[in-house]
Amino acid sequence: MRKIEHIGIAVKDIDQSNELFSSLFGKEHYKIEDVESEGVKTSFFKCGPNKIELLQATDKESPIAKFIEKKGEGIHHIAFAVNDIETEIERLTKEGFEMIHKEPKKGADNKMIAFLHPKSTNGVLVELCQEIEK
């Protein structure tokens, strides 16, 4: 794993949260994107060398909706940049980590993604991200 790619924060209202985080960071978000496969709308902020991803549920059955219902708004996951997501999935599986996604899938911000189950990472939802080459 190369670096922390972003921290995902579950929010109820992305417009209200964009205003809050714009005030906090002193700058506007750089991208809003719907990820239909995950049932979310995302908004990204640059914060130094890292990013913050706000996630609002667009489907009441989505993982974000369920997270907010159970735990409320807050930090949802930490994402790490990897050079080769398939190799990382294979390596982590061999190390005994439980993968939510055994194959990478398209995510937000031009990334292929895969999540590790928090049962195998001390309760932290971990996302692997690989930039999609254009």
Show the tokens assigned to 116.
């590790």
Evaluated on CA atoms 55, 41, 20, 80, the torsion sign reads positive
Q: For residue range 42-71, list pLDDT tens digits in order.
A: 999 998 888 999 999 999 999 999 999 999
Q: For residue range 91-113, list pLDDT tens digits in order.
A: 999 999 999 999 999 999 999 99
Question: Average pLDDT, whole number, for the chain?
Answer: 95
Does residue 88 surpass a pLDDT of 90?
Answer: yes
Instruction: Provide the pLDDT for residue 1.
Output: 79
d(CA 120, CA 128): 14
Q: For residue range 12-32, list pLDDT tens digits in order.
A: 999 999 999 999 999 999 999
Instruction: Provide the pLDDT for residue 24.
Output: 95
Instruction: Provide the pLDDT for residue 48.
Output: 87
Q: Please, which pLDDT band fits residue 134 given cuts at 50, 70 and 90?
A: confident
Quote the pTM value: 0.92
Q: For residue range 112-122, list pLDDT tens digits in order.
A: 999 999 999 99
Does residue 81 surpass a pLDDT of 80?
Answer: yes
Among residues 94, 134, 92, the alpha carbon closest in space to that of 116 is found at 92
Q: Are 108 and 32 in contact (CB under 8 A)?
A: no
Residue 131, strand partner residues: 111
Instruction: Provide the pLDDT for residue 133.
Output: 86
